[in-house]
Amino acid sequence: MSKVVCKTKRIGGGFGGKETRSAFIAAIAAVPSYHLNRPVKLTLDRDIDMMITGQRHSFLGKYKVGFANNGKVLALDLGIFNNAGNSLDLSLAILERAMFHSDNVYEIPNVRVNGRVCFTNFPSNTAFRGFGGPQGMLITENWIQRIAVEVKKRPEEIREINFISDGTLLHYGQLIEHCTLDRLWNELKSSCDWLKAQQEVEQFNLHNRWKKRGVAMIPTKFGISFTTKFMNQAGALVQIYTDGTVLVTHGGVEMGQGLHTKVAQIAASSFNIPLSSVFISETSTDKVPNASPTAASASSDMYGAAVLDACEQIKARMEPITSRHNFSSFSELVNACYMERIDLSAHGFYITPDVGFDWGTGKGSPFRYFTYGAAFAEVEIDTLTGDFHTRRADVYLDLGYSLNPAIDVGQIEGAFVQGLGWVALEELKWGDAAHKWIRPGCLYTCGPGSYKIPSVTDVPFKFHVSLLKVSIMILLPRYLGVLGCPKELKIFTIQCMVFEHIKWGAPNAKAIHSSKAVGEPPFFLASAVFFAIKDAIIAARAEVGCNEWFPLDNPATPERIRMACTDEFTKPFVDSDFHPKLSV
C-alpha cells in the first residue's frame, strides 16, 4: 500500500455508493492494466451502473406496540429486515444503525429490537445518505400514526407526549444530554402556525371533493459517529510557508458538501489570517494515510479537529517568538520563526472520545452526540390521478454554532429534496411475479426515462429553513434579575441580551467549535411530506366512511396515492385495505 498513491481532488455528489461499490469496478480495470502494463479506464453507462452497483436498502418492519389510552408508549417489540442483495457489503452496519434509530425521538420504557440481513437475488444493495437511520425512523413513525388512529388523536399529539428529554436512557444504554427537541418543536409550531394550518386544511377539504390537503409535523434525532469504533479517527497535515500562506491536507473527500471550506475556515481562524491565505490540497494517501471513509456526517467534526490539532502544535512552537516581538503581519511572524529554525509543519490527529458499543451486552454509547431537527409540510393531492405537490415546507435544525450557516442551509435544502424523492417519487421496478412485463431479474427503472428523481417542479412552493437560536424566553430570567438595577444598567443588560440572542445558537461542546454535523440528519425530515400525503388520503377516505388505519408504503407514488383514495371508482376492483405489491 505504501507504493500506491491515491489522489482525489473532489468528486461529484456522493451519497453512499462511493464507499465500497467502486471496488469491483476498480478490480475489473486493474486486471487488464496489470497484464497489459498500460492504463485502463472503465466507464459504465448509466443504465448498466444502476443495474449492477446496487441501491439503498429496502426495509420491512414488523412491530408490536403497547400503549396507554392517552397514547403514551409503554413497550415496543420490533423486527427489522433489510434487503442486502447478493453480498453483505455494508448491510450489517446499515441494519445496526436502523436498530439504533428505531426509537426516533421517543421515550419507550421497554424495547426489544431484532434485526436480520436478508440474502436475496438482487444486486448488492449499499450505503446511502442516512445509512439505515431514515428507514428505522420511518418504521417508528408508521406505528406512531397507527397509535393515533387507535386513540383518535392527531399523530403530532402522540409524538409530543412521548418525546425524550435530558436524562432519558435510550434502548441501547446511552444517556440523552443537552436535548433541544422541545425547543425545536415549539419554534416550528410557532413558525408554521400549526393550529391555523390545520384549520385551513380542514376547511379546504370540506369544500373540495376531488382535491385534498394534508399537514404533518415530524421530528428527528440522528446519532453522529461511525458505529464501527475504529473508524472514528482522522489525520491532517498542516504546513506554513514563509510568505504566510498555509497548505492543508486532510483525509476527507470533498463531494460538494463544503468540507474543504469548513476545514479552511478552521485553519484560518486558528492562525487569525484571511481565508484566502489557506489552500486545501487534494486528498492524497501519501500525505494522510489510512483515512476513514468520508461518511457518517462526521467528517467536518473529525478532520476539522485534526487540522485544529496540527495548528495548535505549530502555534505552540511559535509562541516563544510571538511573545518576544510585536509583528505587523502573520508572514513576518512566520519568517522570524523560519530564521529561528522552528518547524512550521505538523501532523494533526483526532479520535472521537467516549464512543463504543458492546453487541454482547447490547449496551454502550455508539454516538458522540445527536443532531435534532423537525419539519412541517403541507401537501395537496388530486384524488383522481394521485398527483400531488408540496405547498409548503418548514424545516428547523439544531446545528449548534454552525461553522458555515450558508453551507449548512444548502445541505438541509438538498437533503430535504433528496428525501422527498425517497419517500414519494423514486420507485424501483424489477422483473418478478408482480411485474411480468419486465424480463425476470431485470431492472426496468435504470435511467432518467423511467426512474423519477426530484426536479425543480418538486421543490415545495414555500420552503423555509431555520437553524435553532437561543430563545428570548430563556434569557428572560436573567433580565428579571436586573429589574431593580439603575435604568442605564438595565438598558445595557438588555442590549447585551439581544446581542447574545443574535450571536449564539445552541452550543455543542462535543464537536469542533461547538458545531453539529449536518449531512445526513435532515434527510429523514422529508418524511413530513409522506405523512402529509397520508393525512390528505385520510381526508379523502373519510368522505366514503373509511376511517380505519390503512397501510401506505413509501414511495408514495401517484399510483399508490390514487389506489389508497378509496371511492366509487376503486371499490369494484379492490377493498379499502388494498396493499399493492412492492418491487424492491
The β-bridge partners of 375 are 218, 395
Closest residue by Cα to residue 94 from 107, 106, 80: 80
Placement of cell 408482480 in the chain: 434
**Long-range contacts, stretch 192-195, CB < 8 angstroms, 24+ apart:** 192/217, 192/376, 192/392, 192/394, 194/156, 194/376
Q: Please state, in angstroms and rounded to a whole number, the distance separating the CA atoms of residues 85 and 159.
A: 34
Placement of cell 440528519 in the chain: 521
Q: Count H helices and E strands in the chain, helices first.
A: 15, 15
Among the listed residues 160, 520, 559, 568, the single catalytic one is 520
3-state DSSP of 274-303:
CHHHEEECCEECCCCCCCCCCCCCCHHHHH
Q: Please state, in angstroms and rounded to a whole number, the distance separating the CA atoms of residues 279 and 100.
A: 38
Placement of cell 478552521 in the chain: 266
Q: Please state, in angstroms and rounded to a whole number, the distance separating the CA atoms of residues 99 and 181.
A: 21
Omega before residue 555 within 30° of 0, cis: yes
Q: Which three cell numbers stand for residue 435?
A: 411485474
Tell me whether residue 520 is one of the annotated catalytic residues.
yes
Placement of cell 428523481 in the chain: 453
Q: Which three cell numbers stand for residue 378?
A: 403541507
**Angle (CA) 437 442 443, round 5°:** 95
Closest residue by Cα to residue 163 from 146, 183, 147, 187: 183
- Tell me the catalytic residues: 520
